[in-house]
Amino acid sequence: MIHQNRQKELLSKLDDNALIIISTNPEQFRNGDVTFAFRPHSDFFYLTGFDEPEAVAVISRSHYAMFLRDKDPAREIWDGERLGLENAPAALKLNKAFDIKTINNQLSQLINKNSVVYFDAKPCDFDTQITNLLAKYTIKSLKEPLHEMRLIKDESEIKTMQKAADISTIAHQHAMQYVTPGMLECELQSVFDAQFVKNKSEHAYTPIVAGGKNACILHYIKNNQVLIDGDLVLIDAGCEFDNYASDITRVFPVNGRFSDSQKSIYQIVLDAQLAAIECIKPGVSVHEPHKIACAIIQQGLESLGLLAPGEPLSKFYMHGTGHWLGMDVHDVGTYQHNQQHRLFEKGMVITVEPGIYIRKDDKINPIYNDIGIRIEDDVLVTETGHNVLTGNLIKTINDIEALMNKN
């Protein structure tokens, strides 16, 4: 019933004669006739729970229909079983199921002349076809009300996100114990590959496994260089479990021991992250964690002589301190209302991920050359404060060194 309840809640926010038309993602070709593994569009899955390609849901207050692929024994031998038209009404609680091949003829018959149609076209041929079919109707966007719903997680979503966080936590711990100098970054990534597959999950995004100077490349994904004794390695990796993402970053020494200069930078980032997390509760501005983190990093870098008083922090910290998390790793939802930062509400989940990135080209004290540190956790806003979903993953210098040097 969860998807039907979401449909009712969404319709309650729309015009009385609203008609929702929403499609899933198309299959994407990797090369030749080989496709990537299919993942449904998050908005579509949120409202329907249906995970096959080539599907369009039509939802109103009185009717719930879906266009989908019918059974095809020949194709199912190659691609796997389909739900099919006969089974779909009971399985998906539909009033009617239509063959997707008939959408050109059938879609207009489901639209009352007084309907206000809500449809957001994705940049693909199939949605262009739907847009053409809707040419004579007034179309409104569904994004704002739907994405506001997705921003506030219910208990089932929180439970799933906690599972994703737990799987990723174990993978990060195993990586700290597995790493050795001379290993390739991709070898260390294999720890995450194995842990995620073992737990019926997958990468929520392309993982970053960045040793040494590579950690100063914010979206480094080559993951093909040798991990060097004395360097740090930054791993930004999280699994997606049942279509919900986790997002964690940890940094640790390849040889198991932080140098003094690495400790100095790491502790600044950790202090900033802990303080930023601590402020999160309902009624606090969503900008406050970033504001707090920046102030601590600024002060810390000035105390080390890496920044002059008042010198812009963006030289060493050039990204935000967090983003919404949910079905998408950079999840939907606005950060401002009426040009002002919105306030945290119970059920929101946000990452907190301050960082410092010091490149050799920055021409500062060479003991800090090529140190890139980011520490990231997933934080749920609760009724009175917050809960760190990834809180079981260690991050203090002493705890990391103790785990990495445990016999």
d(CA 142, CA 17) in angstroms, rounded, equals 14
Structure tokens at 97: 């199921």
pLDDT tens for the chain, 407 residues: list them. 899 999 999 999 999 999 999 999 999 999 998 999 999 999 999 999 999 999 999 999 999 999 999 999 999 999 999 999 999 999 999 999 999 999 999 999 999 888 899 999 998 888 999 999 999 898 999 999 999 999 999 999 999 999 999 999 999 999 999 999 999 999 999 999 999 999 999 999 999 999 999 999 999 999 999 999 999 999 999 999 999 999 999 999 999 999 999 999 999 999 999 999 999 999 999 999 999 999 999 999 999 999 999 899 999 999 999 999 999 999 999 999 889 999 999 999 999 999 999 998 877 889 999 999 999 999 999 999 999 999 999 999 999 999 999 86
* Bridge pairing between strands 208-211 and 232-237: antiparallel
Q: Calculate the alpha carbon distances from 259 to 33, 165, 263, 311 in Å.
A: 50, 29, 6, 26
* Neighbouring C-beta atoms of residue 119, cutoff 10 Å: 21
Catalytic residue among 39, 174, 287, 323: 323
pLDDT for residue 362: 78
pLDDT for residue 407: 67
* Bridge pairing between strands 355-358 and 208-211: unpaired
Q: Calculate the alpha carbon distances from 194 to 207, 208, 241 in Å.
A: 13, 16, 14
Catalytic residue among 54, 127, 240, 247: 247
**Cβ-count burial of 232 within 10 angstroms (0-12 exposed, 13-18 middle, 19+ buried)?**
buried
Q: Residue 253 in contact with residue 262, Cβ under 8 Å?
A: yes
Count of positions (residues) in the chain: 407
d(CA 304, CA 301) in angstroms, rounded, equals 5
Catalytic residue among 220, 374, 377, 378: 374
Q: Calculate the alpha carbon distances from 365 to 44, 228, 301, 370 in Å.
A: 52, 21, 12, 11
Is 148 annotated in the active site?
A: no
d(CA 274, CA 289) in angstroms, rounded, equals 10
Is 323 annotated in the active site?
A: yes
Is 330 annotated in the active site?
A: yes
Q: Which of 305, 280, 274, 298 is nearest to 356 (CA)?
A: 298
pLDDT for residue 152: 98
Is 319 annotated in the active site?
A: yes
